[in-house]
Amino acid sequence: MFKHLALAGLGLFSAFQASAALVKYTDRALFQAAVSSLTVDSLSDITNGSFNQNRGTYRFDMAAYGCVAGPAMCNDNTLDGMVYPGYVWTYGSGTFTFGNAINAFGLDFGYAFGSASVTLAGITHTVTNGGFLGFIETAGTFTQVSYAAQGSGSLFDNVSYGTAGAHNVPEPGSLALAGLSLACLAAVKRRKTARG
């Protein structure tokens, strides 16, 4: 009987092992501190209007418009953190593709007409006046990142990518609970053995 309980407890314990894959960052300073090799593309060399989306070490494929000329061309989006010259106005979703494998990606984003919501690799973040969204893949590397934003008027700038070192994965609370359960099972077994 105890063998079955011990095996069940071991199965429960292994089911709660920490296995984080993506760590989300909404603070650029914390993201940059966690990345050991970082490239930041400020997009300051893009042209007004349609432009070549091949940025050398990466490219992005989406309906995009370069905002260079100031508020007259793309509204005044400085409240969203967009700085002239050079940020991108997008129309929906797209993909960032990198020439080399990376495990860290982030960008500043905003929305020309109110609050901004952007999704990177399945992680969504919404802010009122622009913000930062980044992530670090702790279990491997990637060469593509999916991008989705709400409708026309989504803005991004300061595309940041690179590699990060190993990250400690926080222990989930359920792991401690599983350990406590196993300790209780062992105590019950000892009590039964002592009685008879």
Question: What is the structure's pLDDT at 132?
Answer: 86
pLDDT tens, 167-196? Answer: 544 444 444 545 556 565 566 666 666 666
pLDDT tens, 115-158? Answer: 666 776 677 777 666 788 899 999 899 999 988 876 567 888 89
Q: Is residue 86 within 8 Å of 74, Cβ to Cβ? A: no
> Residue 40 — pLDDT band, cuts 50, 70, 90?
very high
Measure the CA–CA gap between 143 and 158, rounded to whole angstroms: 18
Q: Residue type at 111?
A: Y
Structure-derived torsion over alpha carbons of residues 97, 102, 108, 112, reported in degrees to the nearest 10: 20
Predicted structure pTM score? 0.70
